[in-house]
Amino acid sequence: MALFGFTVFYGLERLADRQHRAAPVHAVSRSSGGAGSPEGGTATKDDRDPGTEPSRGVYLLHLSSFMVYNALITYTMALRLRTGIAFAVLFTIAMGLHFVLTDRGLEEHYPTRFTARGRLALAAALLGGWAVAALFAPSSTLVVALLTALLGGSILLNVFKEELPSTRRSSFGWFLTGLTLYAALLTFVTALSE
């Protein structure tokens, strides 16, 4: 299920990227002047005509998948609370920061389509997942394990794609420092809950 979640979101990202790359770019670059400008230069990916972003259908599919993703996160939140309030708080903070980067990624893919309405739909999905969990709390261990694995695979892809910078802009030392600090924080929270 984790591999399935990873694959579904990878496929959606590839579909959006493929449609974005296939779209024509302006002949004139905003930053360095275009081929027809006195400065010369080439068109870049950022110089796309706003009408050339991926189709509305791809946007709606991508947005819908993130709505399901958000709903699953809040639906499974009860599991975090059973583990302990400190774990739930850490998970909530991490997911909140993750949502900011997800928002940025959707805005990059769909600069004109992803507006306040899209953001409200994602927020509504969070509330919807919470409401469904309040009314129909997950009771089957198998269903909970499958949903958690599906969510885990989806989160992993989004973390790899949005939160780990490319090798040119990254530092393994800082990555290791963050990893060590977070591991220490989790260890501390575990010790407090016992």
Maximum distance among all Cα pairs of the chain, rounded to whole angstroms: 69
Sequence-distant (6+) residues with CB within 8 A of 63 are 106, 114, 118, 121, 122
This prediction has a pTM of 0.68
Q: Concatenate the DSSP letters of all residues of 72-102 into one string.
A: HHHHTHHHHHHH-HHHHHHHHHHHHHHHHHH
How does residue 40 score in pLDDT terms, banded at 50, 70 and 90? very low
Taking the C-alpha atoms of residue 93 and residue 162, their distance in angstroms, rounded to an integer, is 17
Q: Are 114 and 59 in contact (CB under 8 A)?
A: yes
Going by the DSSP 8-state scheme, the letter that residue 23 receives in this structure is S
Radius of gyration of the chain (CA): 20
**pLDDT tens readout for residues 76-122:** 887 777 777 887 888 888 888 888 888 888 888 888 889 999 999 99
How does residue 30 score in pLDDT terms, banded at 50, 70 and 90? very low
What element of type H or E holds 168?
Answer: none
User: How do the domains of the chain map onto residue ranges?
Assistant: 2-22+54-163
**pLDDT tens readout for residues 140-178:** 778 878 888 888 888 888 777 776 766 667 777 887 888
Going by the DSSP 8-state scheme, the letter that residue 172 receives in this structure is H
